[in-house]
Structure 1
């Protein structure tokens, strides 16, 4: 019987709960022979009522003893009834019936079932007589259906139906086998039945409703044909995202499959390896797995089976997917971890116990370099689930020398409104600890006090600018979680060595309060590698700002050197000892002198800023290439360096981070991985990829910009592409220039950084032969003759074994 199956689901659930320990008493209570009374269910006495009236049926369970009632189900005993759909059904002890119109006195039998906690199902029946009291003849429904062909298309008609004393106003169509009502309200039905290679019989109900709201119906059956041949489904792709998944997150399992015959597909997800977890919606194309908070650093394997047969006995396609569970990114370490390894990042003594900041030029075994590991990227699924997030960086307000009467909150709100995915502000640290502002005096005519006080409307914020900046960032991030991330930073400012932004640090340092301003950068580097628990910047990320711009002393020394050189040449003397010939040795961060302990968290260098492209004005034609050759592991940043109020403006360069999610932890991870690139002014819609293509046990693996790859292969292949988020951008005149440590000033007569290879179009492929040891490669994207994007490098270590995965920091 069709409707009696409705009780099976709650019955099955209750049975499973009982089997899993729903009752702790494994031994039944002691009973005295002859005193037991079996539980009973009563549906009450038979009832009658006039059509269009309401009656109530109530079930009563007695003598339940130790058991309780966990579920009820009311339903008609027969399909041939005036009650259909949800009418005449209830999962409560009470059933309220709205009696329909009838042509004659009509009796309908109802079944009620009660499920006890012991698993016992009780049943009783009651009869309801509907009295014909309203003078209205019900419609007479006549149906016909065309034979169903191989496409399982059902075409039926009830247009020959009649109503003797009125008119038929509308029609309804139900598939009782599938328990669905179709949307069609005319007398013709044209619907697609589920495709299946096997013959299926469906019971349909055609319903006609007259002008007095009277219902007539007819049940009829249709049968789909048996298909002699069947094609198994094809799985296009399957994934487990996000990748990696963090403890406490939800892992989404998804499969895309198709069937050439158009059959209905059935799905079955199972776990094959790793800590066994429950899979929700395991019979759907998209399933979910909740990762426990204490599960980390292991791989979970799953298998998806797709079939066009519900029993999965034939025509099954399957595929396996892996999910990498990785610890949450954090720079904090526990007491026990610090006792076991005092040099661990995040421990108070970490910065004190590493090598001196200006010591060896290459990291020792006790120091951690970005070149000693490779960032995790999608567990071999080629970046599925990673997004390209557009960010505005290097923003200023009246908290330092930006526009008067502005604060970081305005920066964060405006960049969010302008469509940025993230923003990093960086007011100068020179006056973060004092309430004074240093704006352009031309902006102070309306409120002269704003030339003296950073926030005259909120004096407490002026006294706590560093903390207030963080509070404002957290406020705006909290308003759009997962959609926008605001982050705090500061700008370290030396007019001799240069400027640098430090982001996401707990503390800040002022160059003008120590020798870092003019004498030595040692104090800054010592602070940068020191644990934040001791007031250091060991949790921050650093980017070299507008390299070469702070050149006042350097330029003066060059002029002196040129004058001395001319004089000595005129005198016929040697000028080899002229210390001024090379300018200031401190220029451009001591000529980008490599500082090993800072290596891992010095992540970038600005190549675009304000309205300029900085890089090609650099030493040997590329500050970027020069810094990479000095040993740094850097990605390119786009700097707005905005001191007015055009934060997030389209005419300013941007930085794009490739991340698994939009939150501070994952954006931080992307910068540590050097998985970011920059787009030029007026190119905010541009997106690019730069990947190394390698063969692996799972097929072709694509490793993104920022990867550090150890290989024994003699050649390496790169692929690069560009696209636009603006559909109307034709991307005409695009080209790619590949730069390398093999194309620098020591390898060519021009003594400049020149492209190693060039490709034109929207996609390009490069094959290179790396030299033994360390090699770096990055791409400049051009639109015509203009540089419009720059990628982070990919580092190749020729002759090395594959590098270990970088730990979460």
Structure 2
């Protein structure tokens, strides 16, 4: 596009440590296969630095697929046994699971709760419950369930603690969820509703062999330490990226502000991307896009191709709302079929990574 300029960058100051994470998994404690003790061991053996088991908390309509008090205690014991600060981070969580309203992961607390019915008041009751504690939470496979969390009903009490949106879940790219049926992208709906979420990828694994199955979602976290406190800090800072590829290093700044932060954007904003990958990616051409609010998909306000192996700078005019998301794609691989009617997406090919948003303030 005319506003795109590709030049050599100076790199990005990322913070102390990149942790490879999977924050959404299931076991026989709800509707998955295999024991939670095996899940943590399997994910560590697969090379993950951070692993969460988040078995379902369904309502009364799913009595055989939900955790109870005994399962919750067992999961906590498993996570505490597997957790090794400085080496491997094991997290207990649960997935608040409404078949009509959506699923929300909750991490870092000593309590859990089941949905209280199929309608929007159940989301509001859950928000009341969440506001009374200190847990972190995130929207799962957004848009898969028709209620979409009460159309992403915003609650300012949870602005700091509802911290993630899954854009890769299993092998699916949720940027495109529902757009082929006329719905807005969940990314647009969520961010335009006021939520300030980081973007993550997860396996949502229900099989054994956690962490070992290829081409499923995963998360990169830029954390100050390799322990639960460091993971919490990374999530609170929205210092995360979503991918389905292994071994990526991805970060970016906008005017010196890291992804996940609040940045002032002048007439032309300058993004600096730092993208690292395994040796077999070297020299491969990818595409960097700047996304802002649009309908039904975000507007592509700038884009450029780049060769893997060096930082790049992309300049863009940010006129479409108060957030911007960097998307990396591979034009040499087929785009999601749901992108067929959207040239800016169809020609960009397969999604490689989504970086957490920059939240834009006027001026600069």
TM-score by length of 2: 0.83
- SS of 2:105's equivalent? strand
Alignment partner, residue 286 of structure 2: 734
Give the whole-Å Cα distance in 2 for the aligned partners of 1:621 and 1:410. Answer: 39
- SS of 2:322's equivalent? strand
CA 1:384–1:672: 2 relative to 1, 3 Å: closer
CA 1:526–1:758: 2 relative to 1, 3 Å: same
Alignment partner, residue 90 of structure 2: 486
CA 1:731–1:611: 2 relative to 1, 3 Å: farther
Contact kept in structure 2, 1:473 and 1:488, CA below 8 Å: yes
Contact kept in structure 2, 1:398 and 1:437, CA below 8 Å: no
Matched, 1:779 2:339: no
Pairing partner for 2:78 from 446, 469, 472: 472
Pairing partner for 1:759 from 284, 294, 304: 304
Matched, 1:602 2:208: no
Matched, 1:396 2:26: yes
Question: Aligned ranges for residues 179-194 of structure 1 at < 5 Å?
Answer: none
CA 1:732–1:398: 2 relative to 1, 3 Å: same
Pairing partner for 1:793 from 338, 353, 357: 357
Give the whole-Å Cα distance in 1 for the aligned partners of 2:71 and 2:130. Answer: 21
Give the whole-Å Cα distance in 2 for the aligned partners of 1:731 and 1:503. Answer: 39
CA 1:541–1:384: 2 relative to 1, 3 Å: closer
Alignment partner, residue 78 of structure 1: none
CA 1:382–1:722: 2 relative to 1, 3 Å: closer
Deviation at 1:715, TM superposition (A): 3.3
Pairing partner for 1:625 from 174, 178, 188: 188
Give the whole-Å Cα distance in 2 for the aligned partners of 1:423 and 1:413. Answer: 10
Contact kept in structure 2, 1:394 and 1:426, CA below 8 Å: yes
- SS of 1:661's equivalent? coil
Contact kept in structure 2, 1:490 and 1:503, CA below 8 Å: yes
User: Which structure 1 segments of 5+ residues have no match?
Assistant: 1-380, 440-453, 455-461, 531-537, 552-586, 694-701, 746-750, 801-809
Matched, 1:689 2:251: yes
Which structure has the bigger radius of gyration?
A: 1
Contact kept in structure 2, 1:493 and 1:517, CA below 8 Å: no
Give the whole-Å Cα distance in 1 for the aligned partners of 2:79 and 2:144. Answer: 29
CA 1:476–1:752: 2 relative to 1, 3 Å: closer
Deviation at 1:422, TM superposition (A): 0.4
Pairing partner for 1:539 from 93, 114, 134: 134
Contact kept in structure 2, 1:723 and 1:731, CA below 8 Å: no
Q: Alpha-carbon deviations, 1:435-483, whole Å to 9, x = none?
A: x8549xxxxxxxxxxxxxx9xxxxxxx86221221221111113xx301
Give the whole-Å Cα distance in 2 for the aligned partners of 1:431 and 1:411. Answer: 24
Q: Alpha-carbon deviations, 1:687-714, whole Å to 9, x = none?
A: 2122113xxxxxxxx3211011246x44
Q: How many residues align?
A: 329
Q: Alpha-carbon deviations, 1:609-659, whole Å to 9, x = none?
A: 112112112456521122111111011121211111131123321011011
TM-score by length of 1: 0.39
Q: Which moved more, 1:617-626 or 1:388-397?
A: 617-626
Contact kept in structure 2, 1:382 and 1:703, CA below 8 Å: no
Give the whole-Å Cα distance in 1 for the aligned partners of 2:14 and 2:122. Answer: 45
CA RMSD, aligned part only?
Answer: 2.6
